[in-house]
Structures are given as structure tokens and as C-alpha cells.
Copies of this chain bind each other. A is one copy, B any other.
């Protein structure tokens, strides 16, 4: 929810750590590992994928779920739903706000440049809503899939 300073990969970690301490969340191994898994990726990961990418020996799925929820609450992470039954998560640092195209067949995920739905967002604000966010996903068949 807060401001999201423009951070280069270099400083992503310091930024994350400062957000943690600002919110009185302890800096633990599981949390660091999850941040690493998310930061090393170009597209949103689900819990299973995060689990596989985490180098921590004993790391429980429950911990990942709890951690992601906590990160979401403080705005460190963005929850994304592709409508396939599992939630995805993306680090919410600087990068401009964006959305995705998902191939209905091969499930490839591509980022779209910019957001560009400001007009609808204005309508929502005009309806009296505050702290407005949105979720937008495109689905289609990519070139390879037909």
C-alpha cells in the first residue's frame, strides 16, 4: 500500500529488509529464502514453485503460506490469480505496475507494458471507492500454440 521506491536488483534486498523491520517482522531464514526465490524470477510463482526454489532444508508449506500472507499485508508482495486454482505471488518492489498475458494452452506468462486502465479506475473512484486496486489478466493462445 505504501510508496514503492525505485529499486534496482542490487538494492532489492535492502529494500525488503527495511520494509520488514518497519513492520516489526523478524528477519528469519525462511523469509529470506522466500524473498530470494521471488526476486530471482520474472513471473509470478505459486507456493509449490516457491517451495521448490527454496534452499532451506526444512521449510514447511504452512510457513510459506503464512509468510506470503504477511508479506501481502505489508505490501511487499502482490497476489495474482490466474484462475487455475492456485494463487501466484510476485515481489512488489519498484517495477512499474503491470499485468500479464497467459497462454491458455502452454501457460506461458508474459508481462504487458504499463497498465493503462486509468479511465476505469477513475470511474471507480468517482463511485466513492478508496484505496482502489485491481487485478487484470489476459488469456489467449500464443503463436506457438496455434
Residues of A with Cβ closer than 8 Å to B? 79, 81, 83, 87, 99, 101, 103-104, 110, 112-113, 115-117, 119-121, 123-124, 127-143, 146
Contact = CB atoms under 8 A, between A and B. Distances in A.
A72 to B, nearest CB: 11
B133 A135 contact: no
A135 to B, nearest CB: 5
**Chain A interface, >50% SS class:** strand
A94 B81 CA distance: 26
Given A81-B83, A101-B127, A137 B138 contact: no
Please give the count of copies of this chain that the complex contains.
2
A136 B139 contact: no
Contact of A140 (B83, B119, B129): B129
A127 B133 CA distance: 26
Given A120-B136, A121-B138, 17 more contacts: A81-B81, A101-B129, A112-B123, A128-B142, A129-B138, A129-B141, A129-B142, A129-B143, A130-B141, A131-B140, A132-B138, A133-B139, A133-B140, A134-B137, A134-B139, A135-B135, A135-B137
Contacts of A121: 138
Contacts of A128: 142-143
A115 to B, nearest CB: 8
Nearest to A103: B129
